[in-house]
Structure 1
Amino acid sequence: MTHTNDGIVQAAGCVLWRRSPVDGELEICLVHRPKYDDWSHPKGKLKRDEEPLTGAVREVAEETGYRAVPGAELPAAHYFTAGRPKQVRYWAAEAGPGTFTPNDEVDRMLWLSPTAARDRLTQPRDRTLVDALLDALRLT
């Protein structure tokens, strides 16, 4: 069941980040969805009466296997999908413990530098979230 306000599909997700275990540099998590053959930030539709932040953390866990430790809220994305308006609220979230296991919804996951993540993302609107994360972390 999709939670809607005024017919708007409500979704939430995180720009998941970590410090590289190799060199300590910032890495951003991207997921590949075979249904759409795209690379995006982990996100998904909210359940009925689910708080957006709760949904964002749940989606990260479902899609990546990692626990998200949320930080600053990032700009929301607004777009149309299947002819319906959609709003996706995002948070910066540091990756906690976890292990990725491929599933039907997400078959691949990558940890990439901000530049590589920006280049790999399928939707231009998702690229602005990389910059918003860097601003939130004051790394720019």
Structure 2
Amino acid sequence: MTVVQRPVRAAGCVLWRRAAGEDGLEIALVHRPKYDDWSHPKGKLKRGESALAGAVREVAEETGMSCRPGAPLPTSTYVANGRPKQVRYWAAEAVAGAFTPNNEVDRLEWLTPSAARHRLTQERDRPLVDALLAALHLA
């Protein structure tokens, strides 16, 4: 008998802000020292927490920013630590706050979409940049 594992449920945002320059916006990426990777802010949902509430909470915890969530973006499904994981994403505009390094995230960088695409460690995170641009009608 095969046991089907329920996926780990997580959520996050492609966090952006308006900026001067050719793209008109910047995307926030976080560096997690535990994995030495660059990613969009995301994390596991708490019991009973909605995906959108979890995404907004994770942005606040990892970046120090409050955000205004917008369009849903593609869901990412992959295997992490031998278990299936499903991460729901939203576009979210940063509206206030300031980053303070913590145990989970030691750096935050605001990058142009092109630079963000190149900095992301996981290939699966790169299409989210294009999905954000499409959602904002900038693609």
* Percentage of pairs with the same residue: 71
The Cα shift of 1:25 comes to 2.0
The Cα shift of 1:12 comes to 0.1
Runs of at least 5 residues in structure 1 that lack an aligned partner in the other structure: 1-5
The Cα shift of 1:68 comes to 1.3
CA displacement 1:98-118 (0-9 Å, x = unmatched): 000000000000000000000
Q: Aligned AA for 2:105? A: V
Q: Aligned AA for 2:59? A: V
CA displacement 1:55-114 (0-9 Å, x = unmatched): 000000000000010000000000000110000000000001000000000000000000
Partner of 1:85: 84
Q: Distance in 1 between matches of 2:67 and 2:42?
A: 12
Partner of 1:3: none
Return the TM-score normalized by structure 2: 0.94
Q: Aligned AA for 2:81? A: A
Instruction: Note the 1:1-140 alignment, pairs <5 A.
Output: 7-20=6-19, 22-23=20-21, 25-140=24-139
The Cα shift of 1:7 comes to 1.8
Aligned CA RMSD, in angstroms, stands at 1.1
Q: Aligned AA for 1:70? A: P
SS of the residue corresponding to residue 61 of structure 1 reads helix
Moved more, 24-33 or 90-99: 24-33
CA displacement 1:40-69 (0-9 Å, x = unmatched): 000000000100000000000000000010
SS of the residue corresponding to residue 104 of structure 1 reads coil
The Cα shift of 1:130 comes to 0.1
Q: Distance in 1 between matches of 2:67 and 2:31?
A: 18
The Cα shift of 1:129 comes to 0.1
Q: Aligned AA for 1:131? A: D
Q: Distance in 1 between matches of 2:128 and 2:61?
A: 21
Q: Aligned AA for 1:71? A: G
Return the TM-score normalized by structure 1: 0.93
